[in-house]
């Protein structure tokens, strides 16, 4: 069964460093999303991407964040200068048109 894959599974980074989280969505999906989940808290929407551009972003998704789909298959989330509060599980999801979301296993980002 097709699945969304995310790499790396765990990333430890120094505060102020840039990180890139990678996702390979399901190939025939059209909508791509990043969500994050701080430990013990709810899953929070970050950004949605459709037709090679951002369609919506939350207040969390500030200028430090960016997304790209550089080669038509990978979907990346970049955090330019990480802060301690960016530590969380980051989930990529891809959607079919009828909004059933398939999530990746997540990347655990730890900022030290």
Partner 1 sequence: TQLLEQSPQFLSIQEGENLTVYCNSSSVFSSLQWYRQEPGEGPVLLVTVVTGGEVKKLKRLTFQFGDARKDSSLHITAAQTGDTGLYLCAGERGNNRLAFGKGNQVVVIP
Interface residues toward partner 1, by CB under 8 A = 4, 31, 33, 35, 41-45, 48, 50, 55-56, 89, 91, 93, 95, 98-106, 108
Instruction: Report in angstroms how near the CB of residue 16 gets to partner 1 at its nearest.
Output: 26
Compare residues 75 and 95 and give the one whose CB is closer to partner 1: 95
The answer to whether the CB of 16 falls within 8 A of the CB of 82 is: yes
Min dist. Cβ of residue 111 to partner 1 (A): 18
Kindly provide the b/e burial profile for residues 17-53, where b requires at least 16 CB atoms within 10 angstroms of the residue's own CB. eebebebbbbeebebbbbbbeeeeeeeebbbbbeeee
Would you say 19 or 90 has its CB closer to partner 1? 90
First CA to last CA distance, the chain: 37
Place of tokens 């990347």: 107
Q: Quick one: 39 or 84, whose CB is closer to partner 1? A: 39
Nearer to partner 1, 84 or 97 (CB): 97
Q: Minimum Å distance from CB 6 to partner 1? A: 8
Query: What is the dihedral sign for C-alpha 76, 80, 81, 86?
Result: negative
Minimum separation from the CB atom of position 100 to partner 1 (A): 6
């Amino acid at each position: 069964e097709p699945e969304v894959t995310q790499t790396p599974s765990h990333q430890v980074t120094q505060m102020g460093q840039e990180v890139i989280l990678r996702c390979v969505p399901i190939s025939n999906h059209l909508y791509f999303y990043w969500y994050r989940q701080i430990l013990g808290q709810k899953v929070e929407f970050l950004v949605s991407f459709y037709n090679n551009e951002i369609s919506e972003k939350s207040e969390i998704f500030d200028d430090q964040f960016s997304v790209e789909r550089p080669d038509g298959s990978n979907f990346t989330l970049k955090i330019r200068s990480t802060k301690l509060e960016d530590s969380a599980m980051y989930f990529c999801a891809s959607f079919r048109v009828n909004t059933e979301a398939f999530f990746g296993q997540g990347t655990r980002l730890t900022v030290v």
